[in-house]
Amino acid sequence: AQKITQTQPGMFVQEKEAVTLDCTYDTSDPSYGLFWYKQPSSGEMIFLIYQGSYDQQNATEGRYSLNFQKARKSANLVISASQLGDSAMYFCAMSPMDSSYKLIFGSGTRLLVRP
Amino acid sequence: KAGVTQTPRYLIKTRGQQVTLSCSPISGHRSVSWYQQTPGQGLQFLFEYFSETQRNKGNFPGRFSGRQFSNSRSEMNVSTLELGDSALYLCASSVDRGGYGYTFGSGTRLTVV
């Protein structure tokens, strides 16, 4: 069965420091996409970063980078230089490249950035 | 360009009633999918539509239904509402199967009393 696991329900980080949010996934599909989304208290899911299963390099988007370790089936999100506005829920998700046309989400990690 | 628009933002309904939620995708996006988010179950896939055809449906009872119009706008309907249907309903649009380009709306927060 396809599954996303986020083992950190909540995390604190000091402003301007880096933080890593963990994500492991389980799939037998050879092709899939991995995503990270941010959800502020307003509810909107904001796309942060994407990694394809065949991508050789780790994805980066500004202060966000994805530490993709395919053999370990992990896709950790690294946020550098944390800002107060980074306080939110963060969800890891997987999109199988089959005919399911859906995202499978983890349970999320609540990040709180301390001033 | 305009993002994904969901209406209404908030809704309060009584048990037994039915409700219709609307989602207008980004212009040019033909795939629309729906998700239910609750504190207990997290984010769960409801269904996905592409060019007015439902391509996949999640594990929800038949009270949950949806449709997509020729302009790609989508609606989802929940009949005979139950207290457990209280949730944030999120809509996402993409060009096709999603892949890189899932864009979500702000959601409709439904409360069933």
| Res B9 pLDDT > 90 | yes
Q: Enter the DSSP assignment of B25.
A: P
Give CA torsion, residues A21, A26, A28, A31, to 10 deg: -20
User: For A95-108, how does the pLDDT look when each residue is reduced to its tens digit (9 = 90+)?
Assistant: 887 766 789 999 99
Distance in Å, alpha carbon of A4 to nearest chain B alpha carbon: 11
Interchain CB distance below 8 Å, A44 and B105: yes
Q: Quote the pLDDT of residue B98.
A: 53
Of residues B33, B88, B92, nearest to A43 (C-beta): B88
User: A32-52, pLDDT tens digit by residue?
Assistant: 999 999 999 989 999 999 999
Give the span between the Cα atoms of B33 and B66, in whole angstroms. Answer: 10
Residues 6+ apart with CB under 8 A from A91: A6, A36, A37, A38, A39, A45, A105, A106, A108, B43
Indicate whether B4 pLDDT > 80.
yes
Residue A101 to residue B99, Cβ atoms within 8 A: no
Strand partners, A92: A36
How much is the pLDDT for A81?
A: 96
Is A101 within 8 Å of B97 when comparing Cβ atoms?
Answer: yes
The contacts of residue B63 (CB under 8 Å, 6+ apart) are: B78, B79, B80
